[in-house]
């Protein structure tokens, strides 16, 4: 339409007024009275805009509405309004309100166990197979006592959960039906930023609502195991679990999340790539759960400053900031401060790619990790273990009396670490920070930090730290490997004004 507007701006005022007047009186026939450039631009604009009607007719019957029910207890929420908004509040961890300020009694004076199920939330899904397997979001079915799946022909079925994976927010449910219309799975690798896409779902319980937009970005790292597709397709509570469809009528994603400051759609929505979701669904159907690999490390991104200061060059890979004692990585020789750059020959461009690469490996196999350490690369062989639910365990460092503090360069005052504390922390050397000021304070160092390395050189004790600090070039940035609690990271100390 921009070219058409430019053509209109170039037309003579009288001709423009005549053309617009004719348009009002003659409808579509007025296009013949417009200048030739305007006609061509308008025709091109109409051709370029997609028509979603055929896609809706083709894919729509494969999209279902999913209602979740729960049995009202003594403190239940029976009778509360807007189940779609309740689903949204639960999704984003907002406590559900109780308008009466107290529990509600079951109807007819019955017990909680005897009360009828009350609607808890609403979501969407799509049919994977003609025999009744349906894919949706894990958060849609989480905590539900009953599931009701409604087809576009208004048939309703009770569904059972085959499996749900909270890490990717993918779930598979089953209804007892045959001969159902199914979706076609697309190739996410062919999906391009700027491409038109469409969503079908049940926002706020409004069945079979269709919205459209474009792909805004790919591989958004907003989750450990999911590189999300970002779109500007209107997604609201109730759309969760519905399909994201390309112009070929293929499902390329599952609509899962929105970014919002108001509780409603604000132009940014996220979908789970269908290739990732399909791998999860296959395991859920086969095993009822997803089996993933793990190596027992905590990771962080590699910043540009850190990459330059330690000689890595580009900010690539995943910085290891903790190593689980006795875990696969520990046994393989990985250390906090290592940067993992490859897994089994595959490059790790961003730190968020590492959990997906490791998670895709079968537990028990041995794989090779390329790591960058102290200015050089090395290969380590690690045996992959199975990922278990997080235990939340945190190691605690023993309290010990520090030695006399020694004032050093770089704005740091440090003390020795007792041998007993080093053994408990499973580190070979290091010194503890007792006071910080100047450039070190600006870099973010704190009292209590443990310094493990300076400019890629390991720190064994206070004397060596003093020597390394004295040799450091005061006119350039200096990298420091710091342990703080259970985590390890690089900080960059810069001279004043840099």
Q: What is the DSSP string of 250-261?
A: EEEEEEEEE--S
Q: What span, in angstroms and rounded, lies between the C-alpha atoms of 359 and 299?
A: 14
Nearest Cα residue to 21 out of 12, 29, 30: 30
**Burial state string for 291-325 with b = 16 or more CB within 10 A and e = fewer than 16:** ebbbbbbbbbebeebbbebbebeebbbbbbbbbbe
Q: How many CA atoms lie within 13 A of 334 on its CB side?
A: 34
Q: What span, in angstroms and rounded, lies between the C-alpha atoms of 198 and 215?
A: 10
Nearest Cα residue to 152 out of 88, 214, 211, 201: 201
Specify the length of the chain in residues: 498
Angle between helix axes 36-48 and 2-10 (nearest 10 degrees) is 170
Alpha helices in 29-135 (DSSP H): 36-48, 53-59, 83-91
Nearest Cα residue to 402 out of 389, 413, 417: 417
Q: How many helices (H) and strands (E) does the chain have?
A: 13, 28
Q: What span, in angstroms and rounded, lies between the C-alpha atoms of 76 and 102?
A: 9
Q: What span, in angstroms and rounded, lies between the C-alpha atoms of 91 and 139?
A: 7
Active site residues: 139, 169, 240
The CB density around residue 11, as the number of other CB atoms within 10 Å, is 16
Q: Which residues contact 245 (CB under 8 A, 6 or more apart)?
A: 55, 59, 197, 198, 199, 200, 251, 252
Q: What span, in angstroms and rounded, lies between the C-alpha atoms of 277 and 190?
A: 16
Nearest Cα residue to 368 out of 392, 346, 350, 401: 346
């Amino acid at each position: 339409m921009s070219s058409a507007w430019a053509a209109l701006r170039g037309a003579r005022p009288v001709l423009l007024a005549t053309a617009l007047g004719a348009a009002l009186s003659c409808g579509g026939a007025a296009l013949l009275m417009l200048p030739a450039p305007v006609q061509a631009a308008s025709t091109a604009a109409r051709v370029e805009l997609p028509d979603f009607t055929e896609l809706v007719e083709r894919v729509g019957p494969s999209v279902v509405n999913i209602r979740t029910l729960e049995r009202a207890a003594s403190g239940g929420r029976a009778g509360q309004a807007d189940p779609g908004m309740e689903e949204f509040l639960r999704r984003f961890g907002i406590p559900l309100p109780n308008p009466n300020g107290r529990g509600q009694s079951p109807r007819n004076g019955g017990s909680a166990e005897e009360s009828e199920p009350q609607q808890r939330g609403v979501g969407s899904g799509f049919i994977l197979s003609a025999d009744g397997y349906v894919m949706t979001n894990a958060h849609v079915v989480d905590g539900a006592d009953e599931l009701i799946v409604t087809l576009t022909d208004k048939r309703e079925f009770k569904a059972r959960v085959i499996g749900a994976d909270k890490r990717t927010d993918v779930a598979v449910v089953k209804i007892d039906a045959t001969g159902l219309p199914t979706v076609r799975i697309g190739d996410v690798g062919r999906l391009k930023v700027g491409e038109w896409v469409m969503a079908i779902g049940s926002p706020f319980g409004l069945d079979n609502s269709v919205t459209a937009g474009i792909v805004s970005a790919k591989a958004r790292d907003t989750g450990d195991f999911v590189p999300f597709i970002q779109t500007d397709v209107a997604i609201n509570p109730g759309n969760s679990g519905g399909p994201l469809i390309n112009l070929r009528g293929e499902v390329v994603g599952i609509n899962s999340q929105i970014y919002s400051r108001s509780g409603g759609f604000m132009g940014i929505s996220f979908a789970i790539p269908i290739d990732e979701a399909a791998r999860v669904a296959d395991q859920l159907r086969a095993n009822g759960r997803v089996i993933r690999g793990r190596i027992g490390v905590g990771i962080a991104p590699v910043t540009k400053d850190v990459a330059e200061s330690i000689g890595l060059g580009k900010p690539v890979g995943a910085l290891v900031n903790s190593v689980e004692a006795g875990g696969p990585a520990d046994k393989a020789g990985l250390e906090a401060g290592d940067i993992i750059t490859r897994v089994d020959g595959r490059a790790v461009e961003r730190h968020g790619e590492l959990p997906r690469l490791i998670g895709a490996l079968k537990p028990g196999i041995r794989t090779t990790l390329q790591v960058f350490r102290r200015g050089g690369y090395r290969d380590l062989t690690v045996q992959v273990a199975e990922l278990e639910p997080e235990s939340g365990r945190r190691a605690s460092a023993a309290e010990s009396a520090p030695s006399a503090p020694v004032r050093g360069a770089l704005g740091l005052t440090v003390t020795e670490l007792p041998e007993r504390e080093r053994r408990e922390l499973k580190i070979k050397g290091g010194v503890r920070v007792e006071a910080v000021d100047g450039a070190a304070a600006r870099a973010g160092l704190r009292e209590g930090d443990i310094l493990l390395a300076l400019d890629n050189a390991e720190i064994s004790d206070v004397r060596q730290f003093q020597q390394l600090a004295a040799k450091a070039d005061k006119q350039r940035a200096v990298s420091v490997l710091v342990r703080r609690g259970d985590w390890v990271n690089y900080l960059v100390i810069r001279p004043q004004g840099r």
